[in-house]
Structure 1
Amino acid sequence: MPNLADHLFRQARERPDKIALIYEGETWTFARLADAVRRVAAGLAAAGVGSGTRVGLMTTARPDFIITQQAIFALGATLTPLNIFYKRADLAHVITSCDLEVLIMDRDFVENLPDAADCGELRGVLVFGLPTGAGRLASADGLGQTGAAIERPVDLPETAIGMMLNTSATTGKAKGVMLSLANLRANYDRTPEWLGLNSESVILCALPLYNTFGLNQGINALMVTGGTMVLLPRFDADRCLDAITAHGCTFLPMVPTMLQRIVDHPEAETRNLSSVSRILTGAAPVPAALLERIYRVMGRDTDVMTAYGLTEASAIVTLEHITLRSDGRIERPKSIGQVLPGMEVRILTDDGRPTAAGEVGEICIRGPNIMQGYYRQPEETALAIRDGWLHSGDLGYFDADGHGYIVDRKKDVIIRGGQNIYPADIEDVLYHVPGIREVAVAGQPDDKLGEVPVAYVALQPGCHLTAEALIDRCKQELAYYKVPAAVHFLAELPKGPTGKILRRGLKSPATNASPPGVTP
């Protein structure tokens, strides 16, 4: 019977002295990590954590997160990683909607802890950085110092809920996504193989650890392969370049905005980045200009992969190996790839009809990786999973060769006077304008037309563009009804934890301000 911590304990047996983790100059072997997990698990058990206990974990990206995560797994409890940027209302919603029983958090986040009356079934709060307990808070610092240690992870049925992840909330209120051990093993266990990772891989993880990207392509990839992970507490382009050159990092799992900042760094082309052989990106559109820049900085032989996935499908569903042709052109730069083994994907129309190649419809997924449902939300679950198919809410199509393409989110389609507008069509035109760093298009209510498209743009440093120039560009390349009614310039576009641009945050009047020196 499986346990999600089995991979770590296997690595500790097979390669105990191999360096597993590098963090802020400190190294952890697999044996040291497994020993810490045994001791922390014993401390958690003494605090009342056991099989099926619903545990929230809210810490920064550091070894404590990984050790505590693996200890929670080892005990058979259900882990809910929490976004470290949650404020009081967000935290209250997740605690109550997921019925969390124990919360483990950093001292810096205690100020956002809701009142006890708003915490539902929460019966214990363990805090890192708290020397002694105070009121309902207990110290988490001594969890591994009781002198006790578990022998091995508990055996669990495949149906046990290993993690209850929160949707990214780009689609509204976060929901608890129940992922069973069978779901996770069907995807997480196979992801490193799909990505070409092995025990020699050196993973640079600058991702947050509370979402599926960091959990799967970071921690899980480390545990399954027995490679090495260089963990950064937060993303910083300077530190990423330093880590690559110092530790010979071979694999970079990053969202496009991270990669953009690395390849645009003034020292990017003078540093020795030849160790990087694989890059995985996704969670947001990847502009062709960024792909071209990656190859120029990292080298033509770099295996750049783009993927499509979602929390409800236990992570990735399709994978594309981007091809740089001999003439310098990128083949299928917008593709999200082909469907991975063990999964099925259909593109369906609104009335449930399968589409032909090239025809746009909703991406629907079926397979052993599909979630058990949204916790305590049967109506939402029934809407999402119909006849065994997970309806993603994303619009896309497959070409005749089976390569997939995302068009947009179903709910992001703008309807202008009865004409459907996909924001990605406008964004693609604007991304080809030199000097544009980021762009997003959202619908704005209009009394006569219902909605009109509005573009929000972040520029490269030192670049000056006008709204009129960008609108003229769109007029040259797009149908009249797709031309933005306005262009607003922002210093940064609002993003969620995975790097996705939050379109709903673009519709606030507060986002309409332009940075100094930029003409709206």
Structure 2
Amino acid sequence: MTIAPQSYLPWRQPAGGRADRPCMRDDRIELTYAEFATRVEAVAEQFAEHGVGTGSVVAIMLPNRVELLVSLAAAWRLGAAATPVNPVFTATEATYQIEDADATLVVAATDALAGVRPVLLVDHLRASPHTSTAPHRTRDDDLALLIYTSGSTGRPKGVMLDHGNIAAMAGSMVEALHLDDSAHCLLVLPLFHVNAICVSYLATMIAGGQLSVLARFHPVEFLEAIARLRPTYFSAVPTIYAHLLALPDGVEADTSSVRYAICGAAPASVQVLRGIEERYGFPLLEGYGLTEGTCASTANPLAGPRKPGTVGTALPGQIVAIMGKDGALLPAGERGEVVVRGPNVMRGYLNRPEATAETLMDGWLHTGDVGILDEDGYLRLVDRIKDMIIRGGENIYPKEIENVLHGHPAVLEAAVVGAPDEVYGEVPVAVVALHPERQADVEELLGMCREHLTKVKVPTAIRIVGSIPKNPVGKIDKPTLRADIAGHARAHHGA
């Protein structure tokens, strides 16, 4: 589906009687499409008074709330881009992003960053404009978003996404999910991430549906919101679904309004996918993508077969392939790097031409993920190239071990990383979080690994922890785990 920016820009909505329809709400405010457009015009007027114009960047450092979405659209109304900043960032982290993006203005809840750039407090945003001004004529190649990567290696990089990218992504989701004006999305993921912006916000706006914004995720409160607001779909990460499955059996939930839910950002176990459908009664569509691809590139189809253990087929408008080390595309069943092509692929990294050239080679987005396409075009992820463990020359993919551990009913989450070893170079070590109402011990889990894995793949140690660390977008933080395990290894060796 080809989508033009006017489909999600509130001041250029096509005719169709949307003006008085519910558009979005949070726990404080509810707006129709017309009221949202008025707020956007008012805030754009304020931004202009602070020097924001065509080509500027506005930093938005807010928790999930309607004003964040108003601010995004207000920046676009002026021909500016937006860079959403994680609201729990330290001053050091926030300052780095704001300065790297060269933001003209910061929208925030406090003036703590006033010494970095001018700050407009969210409580001071206008609800109606003082005058009427014509909006910028938005083009596909206008920069729309600067989304910063999580920075697991080195400093975070600004991913440049233009309006053509985000229109292609949102339009692809509308087509894949069969969205129309009856769609009601419950937005729970953080809005500093492109998943929430494109899959939940923009796709819903294109379809003419409504959006309910949650400030935070808490399992019981989330289920209560579903029962109260009656959404038709939502997008979340595996950790959220794991928490929902971990609720005591006595917790009841009315999820009858939910037609389906989407799972992305990190691989989900087959047990989680099946468990959600069995307990809550709606299908879970697992997908896959990168920020550099404006969020998603594959998904298990809503109308077609869903293959557990895969992340589905290429989304409309995209090509997903497997590439060998020599740059040749590989046939079905062959293992190699996942590469993506389509109008959703980023413009590049801000002020990082070398990193851009490494990632965008020969017209393909190189994901750094290892995968296999089957004969039907379904993608199975093997692992991240950088996460691969080389034990004495043997390549070990942590996901294979994690899949075995997830097969134990007591295992809620599992992560496997490489630990330094004097003999083998590195060896696999597993970190496991258990279901709060179930038990398992290390020997039991090791026995399961020995049963299903060759000897070199069996973890040399399994650590059972209360919770596994996550990065800001909900992915398991493997760099932190590696550093922690390496520290344990050094301490043990020193002893």
TM-score range, shorter chain: over 0.9
Contact preservation (8 Å) 1:164, 1:178: yes
Alignment partner, residue 193 of structure 1? 175
Q: Which amino acid aligns with 1:364?
A: V
Alignment partner, residue 501 of structure 1? 476
Alignment partner, residue 309 of structure 1? 289
Tell me the distance in 2 between the aligned counterparts of 1:231 and 1:191.
19
Tell me the distance in 1 between the aligned counterparts of 2:245 and 2:258.
13
Contact preservation (8 Å) 1:188, 1:315: no
Tell me the distance in 2 between the aligned counterparts of 1:216 and 1:192.
10
Within the candidate set 290, 295, 299, 1:319 is matched to 299
Tell me the distance in 2 between the aligned counterparts of 1:429 and 1:16.
52
User: Secondary structure at the residue paired with 2:41?
Assistant: helix
Tell me the distance in 1 between the aligned counterparts of 2:362 and 2:337.
15
Matched, 1:249 2:231: yes
Alignment partner, residue 119 of structure 2? 125
Tell me the distance in 1 between the aligned counterparts of 2:402 and 2:322.
23
Tell me the distance in 1 between the aligned counterparts of 2:468 and 2:256.
31
Within the candidate set 432, 439, 460, 1:457 is matched to 432
Q: Which amino acid aligns with 1:321?
A: P
5 Å matches for 1:28-39?
28-39=31-42
Alignment partner, residue 328 of structure 1? none
Change (3 A) 1:2 1:324: closer
Alignment partner, residue 136 of structure 1? none
User: Secondary structure at the residue paired with 1:498?
Assistant: coil
User: Secondary structure at the residue paired with 2:171?
Assistant: coil
Change (3 A) 1:77 1:63: same
Within the candidate set 251, 263, 270, 1:281 is matched to 263
Tell me the distance in 1 between the aligned counterparts of 2:49 and 2:29.
29
5 Å matches for 1:25-174?
26-107=29-110, 110-111=111-112, 113=113, 116=115, 119=116, 122=117, 124-128=118-122, 141-144=123-126, 147-174=129-156
User: Secondary structure at the residue paired with 2:273?
Assistant: helix
Q: Gaps spanning 5+ residues in structure 2: where?
A: 489-495
Tell me the distance in 2 between the aligned counterparts of 1:478 and 1:145.
61
Contact preservation (8 Å) 1:4, 1:181: no
Change (3 A) 1:497 1:294: same
Contact preservation (8 Å) 1:8, 1:223: no
User: Secondary structure at the residue paired with 1:271?
Assistant: coil
User: Secondary structure at the residue paired with 1:336?
Assistant: coil
Within the candidate set 19, 39, 61, 1:16 is matched to 19
Q: Gaps spanning 5+ residues in structure 1: where?
A: 129-140, 326-330, 514-520
Tell me the distance in 2 between the aligned counterparts of 1:462 and 1:260.
13
* Greater mean alpha carbon deviation, residues 391-400 or residues 469-478: 469-478
Alignment partner, residue 517 of structure 1? none
Contact preservation (8 Å) 1:41, 1:72: yes
1:222 Cα deviation after fit: 2.4
Q: Which amino acid aligns with 1:375?
A: L
Tell me the distance in 1 between the aligned counterparts of 2:435 and 2:206.
39
Tell me the distance in 2 between the aligned counterparts of 1:206 and 1:12.
30
Change (3 A) 1:156 1:21: closer
Tell me the distance in 1 between the aligned counterparts of 2:406 and 2:385.
22
Change (3 A) 1:157 1:203: closer
Alignment partner, residue 342 of structure 1? 317
1:89 Cα deviation after fit: 2.6
Q: Once superposed, what is the RMSD of the aligned Cα atoms?
A: 2.4
Alignment partner, residue 493 of structure 2? none
Alignment partner, residue 135 of structure 1? none
Task: Give CA-to-partner distance per residue, 1:311-340, whole Å, 9 cap, x none.
Answer: 111121111137999xxxxx6211111112
1:382 Cα deviation after fit: 0.7
1:27 Cα deviation after fit: 2.2
Contact preservation (8 Å) 2:175, 2:316: no
Task: Give CA-to-partner distance per residue, 1:465-513, whole Å, 9 cap, x none.
Answer: 2222211211111011101011112211111222110101112338999
Contact preservation (8 Å) 1:453, 1:484: yes
Matched, 1:417 2:392: yes
The two structures have a TM-score, normalised by structure 2, of 0.92
Contact preservation (8 Å) 1:303, 1:321: no
* Greater mean alpha carbon deviation, residues 16-25 or residues 260-269: 260-269
* Greater mean alpha carbon deviation, residues 258-267 or residues 432-441: 258-267
1:225 Cα deviation after fit: 1.3
Change (3 A) 1:77 1:510: same
Contact preservation (8 Å) 1:307, 1:319: yes
1:171 Cα deviation after fit: 4.6
The two structures have a TM-score, normalised by structure 1, of 0.88
Alignment partner, residue 489 of structure 1? 464
Change (3 A) 1:3 1:101: farther
* Greater mean alpha carbon deviation, residues 220-229 or residues 89-98: 89-98
Task: Give CA-to-partner distance per residue, 1:107-152, whole Å, 9 cap, x none.
Answer: 1xx54x4x95xx5xx4x22233xxxxxxxxxxxx333168524445
1:165 Cα deviation after fit: 1.1
Q: Which amino acid aligns with 1:161?
A: L
- Number of positions where the alignment pairs a residue of Structure 1 with one of Structure 2: 485
Tell me the distance in 1 between the aligned counterparts of 2:473 and 2:178.
23
Contact preservation (8 Å) 1:348, 1:364: yes
Task: Give CA-to-partner distance per residue, 1:430-475, whole Å, 9 cap, x none.
Answer: 0011211100001111111011011011111143322222112111
Tell me the distance in 1 between the aligned counterparts of 2:428 and 2:303.
33
1:172 Cα deviation after fit: 4.0
Tell me the distance in 2 between the aligned counterparts of 1:182 and 1:57.
21
Task: Give CA-to-partner distance per residue, 1:184-206, whole Å, 9 cap, x none.
Answer: 22222331221122111111111
Contact preservation (8 Å) 1:467, 1:488: yes
